[in-house]
Structure 1
Amino acid sequence: MPKKRHSKPRFQPRTAALMSRTASWSTNRRLAAGIAALTILAGAAGLTAYLTAGPDDPTKAPAPAATSSPSPAPPAGSGSSGSVGSPPSTHDPVEFAKAAAGTLWSYDTRQINQKQHLAGLKAWMSPETKYTDWESVASQVPDPTLWSRMHDNGQYATAKVSEGHMPQAFTKALGDNPGAITEAYVYVVTVSGKQSISWRGGGAGAEGRAVTLAVQCRPDHNCALSGVSPRVAP
């Protein structure tokens, strides 16, 4: 009796995106060990309660608020230009975090490789390495092998950011100890929005996203990214 031949499942771009997010969640769990460091970044011991508030589960990310006007990610990082956009010149941590989230959710594997994408994201980081967690940012990007597969399928993503705010627990901690922020000037901001993914052959998909970022905004410098928190709080 002839043996049945089994063909290998065809690689799907959507699978690449899911694999990418799975890798990110795994890394975020490992980042639990860095919660203490993020607490130091924010300069307030009371933030420990915030940073351990609850799991960052993108599958349960809040949908964009119906009453807010979606703002697109920076054009250069929108997935159409082939490069990561430059960080905005702003002293507003919420506005910076919204731009950074849009950039993190945008990529174009058709135009640049994984190393080039990471180099673009590196430009968003604070130069004060004492107050940065680059690994938490790099973990948001697919590894070189997965990036290559996504490139083969012409996969790219764009983002629309709908809302950003400082979580209540963070603002309460600052209210209880207003001088604490002056050590590092690192603020915590939660951003929500939507990521749209497209690939060769007309395939497309979209989903709600949410991320909590640590943003450094010293009074005499533009804001810069400090890291991605492994947790999301309201």
Structure 2
Amino acid sequence: MRNRFPSLSSYGTGWSAKGRIAVVAAAIAALLALAGIVAVVTGNGDDRVPDTAAPAPTGSPSATEAAPEPSSGPGSVAKPPQISEPVAYAKAAAQMLWSYDTRNTGRDQQLAGMRAWMTTESAYADWGSVSGQVPDPVLWSRMADQDQHATGTVTEGHYPGAFKQALAEDPSAITEAYIYVVTVNGRQQIAWKKGGGGAEERAVTLAVQCRPNHDCSLAAIAPSVTQ
């Protein structure tokens, strides 16, 4: 029987929206409420488990799990780019989230590399929504045994309609946190030993913080909102 494993980016997508955005929602509630984005939040997420992957396990990382410092090199996680434009940064972040390589990157390295993309402003950072994309240590080890790795490619990124409407109705609402909501679409190619692999279309909505005269950073994997 062919070995089948969950993709990194689909892990944790079954969590409730409340659990995934609890922190960041408090910071940007005023902006989201303007367009009624909260009313269309779902707990399913846009990512789906590819045909070449098994369902994600029921056990998932703690939402408060701390990202360890890398101890044996940076691994394969891309470094955050110096970008001050929200859509461009969100596209780079999505590609990072859809890419991993268990052949040369340990789970702690993966978390540490992802953490480097996060905003340092704790009031706006929902680390749990991001770290929840990484399988637990046992499953990561199983993936590593099979040399599982994935490469993400991005086709486009855009502001969802509800977010654009919110900005149009009250442009000043964003000036407290400078959190932008961006939906990114793309594709993930997964491979493992003995020629196993597959690919699937991907979509994710990210909350990105881009303060004036500063590089952007990732705040959270946001709820699903209108496209």
Q: TM-score range by the shorter chain?
A: 0.7 to 0.9
**TM-score if structure 2 supplies the norm length?**
0.81
Output the CA distance in 2 between the equivalents of 1:93 and 1:44.
16
Deviation sequence 1:178-225 (CA, Å, 0-9, x none): 101100001000001000000011111000110000000000210000
The letter for the 2-side match of 1:224 is S
Q: Does 1:85 align with 2:74?
A: no
Q: Does 1:165 align with 2:175?
A: no
Aligned pair in 2 of structure 1 residues 104, 33: CA closer, same or farther (>3 Å)? closer
Output the CA distance in 1 between the equivalents of 2:218 and 2:46.
21
Stretches (4+) displaced over 4 A: none
Cα RMSD of the aligned pairs, angstroms, is: 2.5
Q: CA deviation at 1:29?
A: 4.3
- Structure 1: 5+ residue runs without aligned partners? 1-9, 62-80
Aligned pair in 2 of structure 1 residues 129, 211: CA closer, same or farther (>3 Å)? same
Identity %: 49
Retained in 2: the 8 A contact 1:42–1:181? Answer: no
Q: Does 1:58 align with 2:47?
A: yes
Aligned pair in 2 of structure 1 residues 50, 193: CA closer, same or farther (>3 Å)? same
Output the CA distance in 1 between the equivalents of 2:21 and 2:188.
28
Higher deviation after alignment, 45-54 or 198-207 = 45-54
Q: Does 1:24 align with 2:15?
A: no
Q: Does 1:178 align with 2:168?
A: no
Choose between structure 1 and 2: higher helix proportion: 1
Output the CA distance in 1 between the equivalents of 2:169 and 2:194.
55
| SS of match in other structure, 1:201 | helix
Give the corresponding residue for 1:44. Answer: 31
Retained in 1: the 8 A contact 2:21–2:126? Answer: no
Q: Does 1:15 align with 2:11?
A: no
Q: Does 1:225 align with 2:218?
A: yes
Output the CA distance in 2 between the equivalents of 1:127 and 1:209.
27
Deviation sequence 1:103-162 (CA, Å, 0-9, x none): 000000110111110000000001101111000000111111111000000100001100
Aligned pair in 2 of structure 1 residues 48, 208: CA closer, same or farther (>3 Å)? same
Output the CA distance in 2 between the equivalents of 1:30 and 1:39.
11
Larger Rg over CA atoms: 1
Output the CA distance in 1 between the equivalents of 2:15 and 2:49.
18
Q: Does 1:100 align with 2:93?
A: yes
| SS of match in other structure, 2:203 | strand
Counting matched residue pairs gives: 202
